[in-house]
Structure 1
């Protein structure tokens, strides 16, 4: 059995490869070739903790099996430990034997960033030059890298409710990507000062209210809603959804059960099932159409699926074995 840290993964697996792995996972998912049970949550009240177990199997030509374990222990911070540790367990689908353990925190960042990047690649205008990233938490840098990977962006505006954190994020982005992209990174104090001029908007927060003014977006914009994953959270404004020409989900069942961005406007009859085009995997498989014109407003909403974790993790392990970049345990 092998163990792969964040640095191990970064050495052998690029964002582009993660994009391709996510595309493969979504394709098989939408073909009905994935078995993704409901997440199991275990409360640990005496330690103010919760442990979450997310197993999954994706079939097809190159099957993958695994389980991600995510724990939420807010008090860990007092002991200088991560409050949301995550671990990915990869099994051999042919034998059921555990073959690898990966850093689940970075895996989640990588596959989620790549997921948004895939939607941006498939749905945004190819000549998109400007983007807005809302939220600079743990997911922020991977979300930014994914956008930069799929579009030749000249400028990315960055917003966070903590202004100093947005500025620090831009400094870090300049350092991270100085030898890879020629993009300008600029923090903004008011998200709506730039929301009406950008070609791509990616919001990745846990906000319970819309993170930008949907009446200010321009024609042709593509919007990614990445952060909100409970019925109470809501990043995408209803006004944007109402005016959208095409709306896509990662998984229909997941979004309709968990995403407040969609559940809330549906409960108010502002949005109906008929307004939803389908799953991104269906678009990949050619079952539904994508953007129809440069002026279309397109929206992608994701809450995540274990199908991404198991496929991306499996492909990382295979690549690490080829590169001989492994640590045996």
Structure 2
């Protein structure tokens, strides 16, 4: 039987602490050879600007294979539709049975924030107390909850292009014991932060390396999965000790990395390593309090698989979702 899970059902099942733990284990499994994470394809046909990206993964620990089909369609904004949509398919590694089909919106948001939390846990200064957010949408709210699970965050400094977005953000985090400061500019956010998360669908840089202060940790999260789009300028990448979730994936779809490489100001070899190798001790992360570290978060299928395992198991335990026999 195959379990169908909708976005509203997944919202009630999502658990940030469990997801952070599962995401950290998934990164470590890649490093240890216990999970297979191939580089994704990127499918497009002219003249459409849309891209379709199948993100596959295989995990021994979770006993699953998975594929998320991500549709990235910028033109949807003019139609009043989400510019990114996705669906996750979970398959038994032992039998090949399709166990579940999940709407991808909630799992992607939660596992993305969890990945930033894991990166911050292992790369940021342990006493980091000021979280900076460039972007204030739903992903920013998820990042606040994720960071509170791993660091002693006391203050959140946030900026968005619209006051409506920052007002909504403040309402959604009002029940947390935090001081929230709405900044006048992205520069103000960067210059005040111990940990910075960039969460915008930018195609051109919104954050510049000249703003980075010693000791900063950056999670570069928001840019679309395209080698020509980025949030961080080349100077920011060059100034930082750069880590990625998956090097083959980053070189396929990260403009934050590949644009400075194309400019000749850095090389792929300047990437210090994958986050899983930091977790397992194969690669050194932060070397001093003054290091500027940067996690280039491009998104990988193993993380969709990891949160899919949690959501599927929780749904089965709580008898949620619609069961169908797809073989009939």
Q: Do they fold alike, i.e. is TM over 0.5?
A: yes
Partner of 2:303: 308
TM-score, normalised on structure 2? 0.87
Which residue is 2:216 aligned to?
A: 221
Cα distance change, pair 309–288 in 1 and its aligned pair in 2 (3 A): same
Tell me by how many angstroms 1:83 deviates.
Answer: 5.1
Cα deviations by residue, 1:262-291 (Å, 9 ceiling, x for unpaired): 212222332234432100011112211121
- Which deviates further from its counterpart, 296-305 or 74-83? 74-83
1:266 aligns with 2:261: yes
In 1: Cα distance, 2:37 partner to 2:267 partner: 27
The offset of 1:42, in angstroms, is 6.1
CA contact (8 A) 1:28 1:58 kept: no
Cα separation, 1, equivalents of 2:286 and 2:275: 12
- CA deviations over 1:60-110 (Å, ceiling 9, x no partner): 333221222334567777887655432212111211111112121111111
Match of 2:237 among 218, 237, 241: 241
Question: 1:12 touches 1:316 (CA, 8 Å); kept in 2?
Answer: yes
1:114 paired to 2:109: no
Establish whether residue 34 from structure 1 lines up as the match of residue 36 from structure 2. yes
Residues 132-163 of structure 1: CA deviation (Å, up to 9, x unaligned)? 11123453322232222222211111111223
Q: Does 2:189 match 1:198?
A: no
| 2:36 maps to 1:3 | no
State how 1:1-329 maps to structure 2 within 5 Å.
1-32=2-33, 33-36=35-38, 38-39=40-41, 41=43, 52=52, 54-72=54-72, 82=82, 84-174=84-174, 178=175, 181-228=176-223, 229-244=225-240, 246-329=241-324
Task: Measure, in 1, the Cα distance between the counterparts of 2:61 and 2:30.
Answer: 13
For the residue of structure 2 that corresponds to 1:314, the secondary structure is helix
Distance 2:271 2:72 in 1: 33
Shift of 1:203: 0.3
Aligned-pair CA distance for 1:115: 0.9
Distance in 2 (CA, whole Å) between partners of 1:72 and 1:230 is: 10
Q: Give me the whole-angstrom Cα distance separating, in 1, the residues matched to 2:76 and 2:192.
A: 42
1:328: Cα distance to partner?
2.7
How much does 1:49 deviate?
8.9
CA RMSD across the alignment: 2.6
Residue range with higher mean Cα deviation, 95-104 or 234-243: 234-243
Structure 1 stretches lacking a partner, 5+ long: none
TM-score, normalised via structure 1 length = 0.87
Shift of 1:2: 1.8
Query: For the Cα contact (< 8 Å) 2:11–2:106, is it kept in 1?
Result: no
Q: Is the 8 Å Cα contact of residues 66 and 89 (structure 2) preserved in structure 1?
A: yes
Post-superposition Cα deviations, 1:302-323, rounded to whole Å, max 9, x if no partner, equal: 2111121122212321232234
Q: Unpaired runs of 5+ in structure 2?
A: none
